[in-house]
Structure 1
């Protein structure tokens, strides 16, 4: 059986909600260890190709995977890379008691997750702009 090259949208949304709720819980409780759940899950997804949050969420889907709106797997990997970077810097900053830096990086992830839940993917926009820049640069050579 070939591996799917897309992720069903409900699973992408689940991951976005976990990221957002983890950041909010970190802010409310001042416990940065909460960030390790989405950080490790997304980092594992980037490095190994399997996000445990998405893997567990898949068990709860009731319809065949092909019936859900597909999200590009490579795009989600790119987005997870950005989220992992920001969550990692945020977590490390909190551990070093650099609250302002921690708040800044976790706020970026929380805002991006919120906007993605609402329907606009900032990571997709960033990757598109990056590819446009690469294309234009290649044309000049």
Structure 2
């Protein structure tokens, strides 16, 4: 998905889809492993990787570094995704992982794994072709546009 907005230079930047997909693949695998072997510290590592990505870009993402060659083999197209949309999706993921870790700190292990699992399912859905975060982003932008027209 490519969004162009002359009033927002950030919206005009694009991220190669192989970087986005490699991050999603890393999320899915890591969260599945964390839940399967009951190791919540893996969730904290995924959280840290996502925070570093939102702060410093895809070059700071370990999943991108390790898995992009695989993603390039699977996604040969030169597609890109709007950086603004990627940042929105990263923010959603970080929110779910932060809530998951908060639950872990209160010994609410099941709730923590459910929240992390929801993020994993969203990343898996995106890998399979349906971006839940993109749908939420579209609805958010639509809501903002409608509100600005009614004022």
The total of aligned residue pairs comes to: 136
Between stretches 37-46 and 131-140, larger displacement belongs to 37-46
Structure 1 range deviating more: 82-91 or 40-49: 40-49
Q: Give how far 1:107 is off.
A: 2.0
- Tell me, yes or no, if structure 1 residue 130 matches structure 2 residue 143: no
Q: Distance in 1 between matches of 2:72 and 2:24?
A: 20
Of residues 122, 129, 133 in structure 2, which corresponds to 1:119? 129
Q: What is the aligned counterpart of 1:19 among 19, 23, 27?
A: 27
Which sections of structure 2, spanning at least 5 residues, go unmatched?
A: 1-11
Preserved CA contact (<8 Å) 1:33 1:91:
no
TM-score, structure 1 as length reference: 0.83
Query: Could you say which residue in structure 2 is the equivalent of 1:103?
Result: 113
What is the alpha-carbon root mean square deviation over aligned residues? 2.5
Consecutive unaligned residues in structure 1, runs of 5 or more: none
> Structure 2 length normalisation: TM-score?
0.78
Deviations 1:95-137 (A, max 9, x none): 3210232123112101101110001111111011001011111
Counterpart of 1:41 in structure 2 is: 49
